[in-house]
A = this chain, B = another copy of it.
Amino acid sequence: MPGPELLLQTVQKSVPLESEEQQRLLVAFQKGTFPRKEFFLRSGEVCKQVAFVLQGCLRSYAVDEEGTEHNLQFAPEGWWITDMNSILYNQPAQLNIEAIEDTQALLMNREQQELLFRDLPILERFFRIITEKSMAGSHKRLIEQVSVNAKDRYIHFCKLYPELIQRLPQKQIASYIGVTPEFLSKIKSELLKGKS
């Protein structure tokens, strides 16, 4: 059962917080526990909350017409995750967000967040900053997806998230880089041949 220290640390990497501000921040959240395979959000529901992962790992994914899952994001410890389209526009989520491992998270709903911004403008700054950063990340991801082939996307993923390679089943990584598990298997065996 990890405490909320990771959240305070994370926020304070971007903006300084007094002790009372820290308290005010924490009361905006509630704790959430998600055993492996349980859902934080199911597509069709309206997403009301943003999650900050303390332990474990969540993933967000969309399902296409053929029923194939496409991973959008992994959220291990210290990451934020939500369905921005659903929460912003109050629309049914296209995304599912599911625990890949037993997960502990801090959850904050939108109204709480807006009250928080009203009380502590510094936290509006924090969220402005992390939203800019995740915007930048999302752009990088899109560029990579359209302008790099599958093998190089895999190589890049390995460099960028070495700990996730250890931690996650290959099929989850395949779904993230946008190939079938069979093709990822082929890529890996080619890489092994090439190296030895």
State the A residues within 8 Å of B (CB). Answer: 62-64, 68, 70, 72, 84-85, 88-89, 94-95, 117, 121, 124-125, 127-128, 131-136, 138-143, 145-148, 178
A168 and B94 CA atoms in complex are apart in Å by 30
Residue numbers in B under 8 Å from A125 (CB-CB): 117, 124
A133 pairs with B88, CB closer than 8 A: yes
Copy number in the complex reads: 2
Residue numbers in B under 8 Å from A135 (CB-CB): 84, 131, 134-135, 138
* Residue among A63, A133, A143 with most chain B CB within 10 A: A143
Q: A84-B132, A146-B178 are in contact. List 14 more A-B contacts (CB 8 A).
A: A62-B146, A63-B147, A64-B147, A68-B147, A70-B143, A72-B139, A84-B139, A94-B140, A124-B124, A124-B125, A131-B131, A131-B132, A134-B135, A135-B135
Known A-B contacts A128-B127, A128-B131, A146-B145; the reply to A139 vs B138 at CB < 8 A is: yes
A53 and B139 CA atoms in complex are apart in Å by 20
A63 and B70 CA atoms in complex are apart in Å by 25
A134 and B136 CA atoms in complex are apart in Å by 10
A85 and B142 CA atoms in complex are apart in Å by 13
Residue numbers in B under 8 Å from A132 (CB-CB): 84, 88, 131
Residue numbers in B under 8 Å from A142 (CB-CB): 72, 138, 141-142, 145
